[in-house]
A = this chain, B = another copy of it.
């Protein structure tokens, strides 16, 4: 067994990043379509390797939900292939020029979108991330280093093998896509030190992983700790819309980070709205309620909410409820407990919805729509590489454009400075 060296891999990725940055859109799309085909052509091989991960996971006693996320079926592999083809169909952000203007001395100045360079992805269980993150990186002109969970190592290497076959066939530097074969924790530490070669780290997984990466990285990190999304039902709300948005936001997929965790209700409509809300939540999913002292009476079997409940990301059929004295208190509560993910107001009053949008600076702010739309696909970004709840570089769901930056371009005709 040869020793794996993360610094060497990072340097090779940096060199490779120059070639992927120079590929034309047509070349990148052809490459992605060939990769999609290679994945389905090699589905038996991938399934065989995936079965090794499943067997190891069972032996290790992984939870059934975890094993389920790990499992690759023929259908799962077809889905990966389709996802790559969808990425090929997205428009290419690289090379787009904006803000072209003439300076007083006749120089033309603009900004051109370019790849970031090398992206490192650190993620847990799901092997489909390996293929999709590679495809998004290639489409945005970046090289990528992938470090999946140890549970999925055989699956990830099998997928990488397909991608490398295609790169080799097409005569392209295969270091454009690298999968770290070493599953030890120490390799992450080493990875996070490669500041000279890697431009951005994107961790995807639980809060623990994201905090670990943030605290140990010398490279900029996209952070998304958690989603404590608020729904504020204003006194001018259309109560029918309010109930639908509440039920959809809370119960449609409670394990998602864009599910509603706290419901704030304006006191002047509490009497009419809360009984409807209680009924709808009970009907939809027997939602467990943690209510403030002014709302607890409306819910059967609710417990009294503590500050801890208002901080909680339940990720379950469970919700915190609070009656607020008015708009200002709703804003104050959100500012105190926000995770900067998504907040929603339901109101028909345009002055109040405009104020909500102006005063709440979470990454996604919504009026009269379900928080479940807070997702790259739903917001029109095409595929999503991750989500940022810190404001630097990207904020909110991240599509291809978030894997790029802009350089200044200047066209002169011999101008010099006085």
Contacts of A344-371 to chain B: CB distance below 8 A? 353, 357-359, 361-370
Max chain B C-beta neighbours (<10 A), residue from A21, A238, A390: A390
A51 at the interface (CB under 8 A from B): no
Beyond A359-B22, A413-B368, is A395–B391 a contact (Cβ under 8 Å)? no
A373 at the interface (CB under 8 A from B): yes
A248 neighbours in B (Cβ, 8 Å):
416-417
The answer, among B252, B335, B405, for a CB contact under 8 Å with A18, is: B335
The answer on a CB contact under 8 Å between B103 and A378 is yes
A396 neighbours in B (Cβ, 8 Å):
407-408
| Minimal beta-carbon separation of A192 from chain B (angstroms) | 13
A370 neighbours in B (Cβ, 8 Å):
412, 415-417
A369 neighbours in B (Cβ, 8 Å):
107, 410-416
The answer on a CB contact under 8 Å between A405 and B380 is no
The answer, among B200, B220, B247, B357, for a CB contact under 8 Å with A112, is: B357
The answer on a CB contact under 8 Å between B392 and A407 is no
- A residues near B (Cβ < 8 Å) are 18, 21-22, 95, 101, 103, 107, 109, 112, 114-117, 199-200, 214-215, 218, 220, 238, 240-241, 244-245, 247-249, 252, 335, 353, 357-359, 361-370, 372-374, 378-380, 390-393, 395-397, 405-417
A-B contact pairs, 14 of them (CB 8 A): A112-B357, A220-B220, A220-B392, A240-B414, A244-B416, A363-B407, A368-B413, A368-B415, A369-B411, A369-B412, A370-B416, A372-B417, A373-B417, A396-B407
